[in-house]
Amino acid sequence: MDKKSILAIDVGTGMVKVLAGRQETDGRIELYGSGAAPTAGYVRGVITDVSALAYSIRQAIECVVMATDSHAAGSVYLGISGSMLVAQNSMGTVATATSGSVTNADVERACKAAVFSVANSEYEVLHVFPAKEVITQLGAALEVETHIVSAPQSILQGLSNALSESGIQLNGIVASGIMAAEGMNKELPGQPANFIFIDIGAGVTDISMYVGGCLCSSASLPLGGDYITNDLMQGLSVSRAHAEEIKRYYSRLSPNLRNQGIVLDCNDYGTVDKHIPFDFLYDIIESRVDEIVTLVYSYLKPLQEEYLTNQGQAFEAIYLTGGCGAMPSVATCVTKVFQIHTETVKPEGLAAEYVHPANTVCYGILKHGSRISANEPVAGRSAWSLLVHKAKKLLKI
């Protein structure tokens, strides 16, 4: 790996995943390698043992180093998620530098003012997204509503220190769910301006809500595919690994197999009695999927009303990703519950082995890191130029 390489680390409930790559001049992400290691010290978005987590991250990086036969150099970005992230909206108001005109610098100052008004010495701001602009020409004031995501200093510092002791110097810590959404944003064919991006992993569901093309709300809910796996473990009396296999096997089958008396051979090494009726699996898995989706819906419904329904608008698409988002029945259930067009998305244009919804977060982090390396506008700032353009249109300048 050369100095321009980016290591994108996604701390997930199940696995720590790492992708190493670099953005080519044509914008494509060129991948050098990947690695993964079972996660320890992190449960459903909560760090329970920072040293154990740092060790898992180290192991995942070592996989990349061994696979690429090179030492880990370049920039390292780490994605986190869960209840340690605090998302809030804040308004920043500034007088424009030149009366009657709005510049990038004005918008940047308005965003800083918004951050300042919610600043808390115990939290570090990870991202600032301009979400909605209110431009008042009286006195040439610019008001920018921002979506701000922060995390406790103590947790970030503890994690950075533990990684530093393992020889890993971080260039940045980012919010995983937002990176997934921002990484795919504008890459999706026919993408509407108002949409919801949902990353369902093993233990956490990250939600990013876009209105008018801008991120206006985000959240990390402690829900995910582990809920289904745990139920299969109990219902079928199998190990966790075996339950995972059965879940993945089931998700490749058509729901039309129901009510046909079909019995599946779900045996693994060491078992002989796991001949399970398809209908039995269907009932366990689909009930849990329904519960997960209904909980996400209960969280999102009031927000949908707050942001759009009151203005007579609607969300036009839901994009699903994350390992659990790969289950066809999750997409079917989301369409049924939300009554909105739903698509499962994954990073395209990579070597086939990486094209999976579980890699969307790493792909988004890679893109974020590449833009920083190239001094391009990064997630959270990329929308600023759009905002300046809109502001100029409103001011007719």
Applying CB under 6 A, the residues found at the interface with ligand ATP are 10, 12-15, 81, 201-204, 224-226, 229, 244, 247-248, 251, 322-324, 326-327, 358
* Nearest distance from C-beta of residue 206 to ligand ATP, angstroms: 7
* Nearest distance from C-beta of residue 322 to Mg ion, angstroms: 6
Q: Which residues contact 171 (CB under 8 A, 6 or more apart)?
A: 75, 76, 77, 369, 372
User: What SS3 class is residue 65?
Assistant: helix
Binding partner selected for residue 202 from ligand ATP, Mg ion, none, CB under the kind-specific 5 to 8 Å limit: ligand ATP
**Sign, CA torsion 53/58/60/61:** positive
The two structure tokens encoding residue 173: 């810590």
Binding partner selected for residue 109 from ligand ATP, Mg ion, none, CB under the kind-specific 5 to 8 Å limit: none
**Binding stretches for Mg ion (CB under 5 A):** 12, 201
Binding partner selected for residue 79 from Mg ion, ligand ATP, none, CB under the kind-specific 5 to 8 Å limit: none
Nearer to ligand ATP (CB atom), residue 247 or residue 381:
247
Nearer to Mg ion (CB atom), residue 12 or residue 380:
12
* Nearest distance from C-beta of residue 80 to Mg ion, angstroms: 10
Burial string for 153-171 (b: 16+ CB within 10 Å, else e) reads eebbebbbebbeeeebebe
Nearest to 221 by CA among 300, 335, 309, 110: 300
The two structure tokens encoding residue 99: 């009366």
Binding partner selected for residue 75 from Mg ion, ligand ATP, none, CB under the kind-specific 5 to 8 Å limit: none
Binding partner selected for residue 148 from ligand ATP, Mg ion, none, CB under the kind-specific 5 to 8 Å limit: none
* Nearest distance from C-beta of residue 82 to ligand ATP, angstroms: 7
Nearer to ligand ATP (CB atom), residue 101 or residue 251:
251
Residues in the chain: 397
Q: Which residues contact 342 (CB under 8 A, 6 or more apart)?
A: 317, 318, 319, 320, 331, 334, 335
Nearer to ligand ATP (CB atom), residue 113 or residue 362:
362
Nearer to ligand ATP (CB atom), residue 313 or residue 344:
344
* Nearest distance from C-beta of residue 177 to ligand ATP, angstroms: 8
Select the residue whose beta carbon is closest to ligand ATP and give its number: 323
Q: How far is CA 193 from the centre of its chain?
A: 18
Q: How far apart are the first and last CA of the chain?
A: 47
* Nearest distance from C-beta of residue 129 to ligand ATP, angstroms: 21
Cβ contact 77:170 at 8 Å: yes
The two structure tokens encoding residue 185: 């944003």
CA distances, 389 to each of 99, 296, 349, 396 (Å): 16, 34, 30, 10
Residue 313 CB-density burial (10 A; 0-12 exposed, 13-18 middle, 19+ buried): middle
Nearer to ligand ATP (CB atom), residue 346 or residue 381:
346
Nearer to ligand ATP (CB atom), residue 130 or residue 224:
224
Binding partner selected for residue 203 from Mg ion, ligand ATP, none, CB under the kind-specific 5 to 8 Å limit: ligand ATP
Residue 352's beta-bridge partner residues? none
* Nearest distance from C-beta of residue 217 to Mg ion, angstroms: 19
